[in-house]
A and B are shown apart, each in its own frame.
Chain A
Amino acid sequence: MKDRLAAALKSSRADYTEIRVEHTWSTAVTFRGARLESATANEDLGGFVRALVRGCGWGIAAFTSLDRLPAMVARAGELSRAVRLDEPIARAPVAPAVTDALLDLDGDVRGISLAEKKRLLEGYNGEMLAVPGVVDTTAGYHDEVTEYWYANSEGTLLYELRPEVTLSGTAIARRNGTIEKGLESVGLRRGWNAVHDHAAGFREAARRAAALLEAPTVKGGTYPVILDNEMAGVFIHEAFGHLSEADFVYENQQARDMMTLGRRFGRPVLNVGDHGAAPGLRGTLPFDDEGTPTQDTPLIKEGVLVGRLHSRETAAKLGERPTGNARAISYRHPPIVRMTNTYIANGQESVADLIGDIKLGVYACSAFGGQTLLENFSFTAAYGHMVRDGKIAELVKDVVLAGNLFQTLDRIERIANDFQWNQMGGGCGKGGQFPLPVTEGAPHVRIEAALVGGDVPA
């Protein structure tokens, strides 16, 4: 393969050419209720070429037939030539790397039979079905190993093995007209050794769904809000992470003004970063899809904006350094600026300290999901508790946090010292590329005041 890539690069008439080839073996098992929905093994093979002719735009070609590689290299060059630009596209320098970067497969999933994978998931699904009140479940197991080649005309030549496993469960509890759900999700850049011992998580999700049948809807309003580790992680990803992606600002002066380095975004307790090289996490890889090594990139330091996430193009445009955040979900797509493992760093206090002096507040736990539209965000907790007189009180449901991110970041007033990485599956969507494996990490955080929807008072 390396020889084929070298020959194809050599044939290119463009000034810059890069090629990716990905060969993925994956298996997936799904249960719906007590029934197996499907158990499949798939093979996905394809390539991607991106070319740049001086003074022109990007020419891009993606394909499933590798016999077409030389033709697609030529086609990408032609497409680049078709885009005349006044202002040329520059690429910030990255030292060429020639390496085999083989991640630990941690129990190669390709050596495990489909029947064993089915048995594992059947057990987890059974944990959920055994909980009284649960009327339906879905449970999923997915694994893959990708053989990955990347080569560019500057001399970089990478060969990688990229493992991934995810487990997911949804328990639906129903009584009369009321339907509630509980979710469990695990996602790691590891292998078969990492998928055992998750029964408790599935059981807990199902118990929560059943418990929510009894729980009242949170009364809408503005409260002091404690976010648990998972919610705080999703919050920083959704509400801040996307704005720190430099493709959002690099072509827009007004957006750049909004995201000027040195601007205060929060109080001195707030430290935020993105760490693409943290071992074993879902967003972790040795190199991004432009051949740039991944790294730990500080974004907010003591409340002040100090960095952003870059591709080579956005880094060159803004006179900054590439951060290894140019990622593509597969050979079907070009790399764009994405997060990896985004985090809020540890604070000093205990979780009890954060809660202790709240008279009436909301404790938002475990995330169903989140979305940002520029400065507005919305994210949904799987469940919550009221906080009353410094103590965690009754379970409540339909906890939806919504707000303006600038205001809300600035209202993060206290941060606990119990940092942990989320190890959820799922993924991030942007520019038609979903799901990209990412994760988040955070300690518990306290927001001085946030709007909690749910039962919005009429």
Chain B
Amino acid sequence: MIEQVIKAAGARGEGADALWHRVERTSVSFESGRLKACGVSEEAGLNLRILKDGRVGIAGTTADRPGDLLERAVASAALGESVPLVFPSTTRLPNTTTFSAAAAEASLDRLTAFGTELVDRLSREGCQVNVGIERETIETRFLNTAGAQAAYPATAVSVGVDLARFAGDDVLMVYDVYSGSDLPGPEDLDALVASIDRRYDPALRVVDPPDGSLPVVFTPSGWGAVLLPLEQALSGKAVLQGVSPLADKVGQRLFDERFSIVDDPLAPGRPASRPVDDEGVASKTLPLIADGVVRHFVYDLETAARAKAISTGHGVRGTFSKPRIGYSNLVIGPTQTGKGEEGRGKGQASLGGGLLGGIENGLVVDDLIGVGQGNVMSGAFSHPVALAYRIQNSEVTGRVKDAAVAGNVYELLKRIAGFGDDGRWMGNRWAPSLLLEGVSVARR
């Protein structure tokens, strides 16, 4: 269908591109330790962009036939503003692993077995265990009128586990997830179990929260609030709109000289990896912050055209909306080389990644509440803890409730007191634990 649509669109306007996806998903869920439901879904969708009279129009459909798709795209273009959009021509695709035959072919029984094993290994007195397993096989096809085309298969597997324990009005929840394009191996399941154990066990004891300006260790899952302002500020769109605090800071050292962020669409075996973005631009690894210095912003085709920049291959699109800027995998760490494979199987590290030594009084933050609310772009954050532990005399002494952490990311990241040895993937982000000093901690 995509060929006909592009051919017809090319005849109507100056140019066009289209992305077609087909996703087959199989999911298995265990509730309270027992297998509860199995599901499949099949979804296909086509997103068309046309350039007509210098204006861009978009339309999408999930229906089997294109129907009035082209007419809707043309109507959309009639209202659009002019964009000097240039579609990329032939694309030479880099190599990256996005597909696993073992994952694609795994039977329902095979997927279910992961859940049975995890329920068995994680069950404990007075605690509810839920496991969700999902396997996707994805076909992607891209075509434009400038001659670029791409087609690649992908698989994505996730195995999520959560434990919930209720004692009176105290609720403890510990969560983790494996994700990859391949099925989890024994070492991945071991890592998942170890990750739950090392956070669940010390959480059983509740201790008083500290307060004041304190050293705080953010675990790989606790980083969200620290990273989110940077993710927003490094978008070419925020720069173009004049709202990014980093807009005129390229080449300047704003952060600790060991702090780097790399966008890596070629990390092997990651579900967000891709040889090409959704606008036909070949993927490449891009340093965003290197050794504390702001290096690059990310662009899609349209933002690049408006900003007189070049697309960095960060156009992502769904069936129904126009392409927008999106990161692939963000690799964060003390060096620029912290790549995917290093994270695999390293689940046995201790809570806090070895950063607790020498901390007399502090906090380990594993999860915060309300990340993304408020005025994120400014770098200020203030969040109650969802899961956090007190550090006393270099050791975790118990779980802390009723505490909040606050600070400004741009101030705090000027000096990083340490990176943990527990770097790992959390979804599409690779990061170790991070020790920041002078974080405001308040109790209530």
Contacts and interface: CB of A to CB of B under 8 A. Distances in A.
Contact of A135 (B243, B383, B406, B442): B243
A200 interface: no
Contact of A177 (B38, B245, B372, B404): B245
B62 A44 contact: yes
Contact of A254 (B41, B166, B401): B166
Contacts of A114: 75-76, 79
B64 A40 contact: no
A352 to B, nearest CB: 29
Given A62-B39, A63-B42, A252 B170 contact: no
B358 interface: no
A177 B247 CA distance: 12
A59 interface: yes
B375 A60 contact: no
B171 A402 contact: no
Contacts of A172: 243
A304 to B, nearest CB: 16
Interface in B369-409: 369-370, 372-375, 377-378, 380, 382-386, 401-402, 404-406
A45 B59 contact: no
A403 B444 CA distance: 8
B386 A65 contact: no
Nearest to B42: A63
Given A257-B166, A400-B374, A453-B406, A59 B39 contact: yes
B80 A379 contact: no
A172 B245 CA distance: 13
B357 interface: no
A220 B369 contact: no
A64 B373 contact: no
A67 B39 contact: no
A375 B56 CA distance: 48
B342 interface: no
B242 interface: yes
Interface string A345-387: 0000000000000000000000011111111111110000000
B166 A40 contact: no
Given A61-B40, A114-B75, A42 B382 contact: no
Interface string A446-458: 0000010111111
Interface residues of B, number: 83
Contacts of A379: 370, 373
Interface stretch (A7-15, A29-37, A149-157, A413-421): A29-37
Nearest to A251: B32
Contacts of B32: 251-252
Given A41-B76, A44-B62, A79-B39, A398 B382 contact: yes
Nearest to A243: B171
B164 A252 contact: yes
B59 A376 contact: no
A376 B37 contact: no
13 contacts: A32-B241, A36-B80, A37-B322, A45-B61, A60-B27, A61-B41, A62-B39, A65-B44, A82-B112, A86-B34, A255-B128, A400-B374, A400-B383
Given A60-B41, A65-B42, 7 more contacts: A36-B80, A40-B322, A79-B39, A369-B372, A373-B367, A398-B375, A400-B373
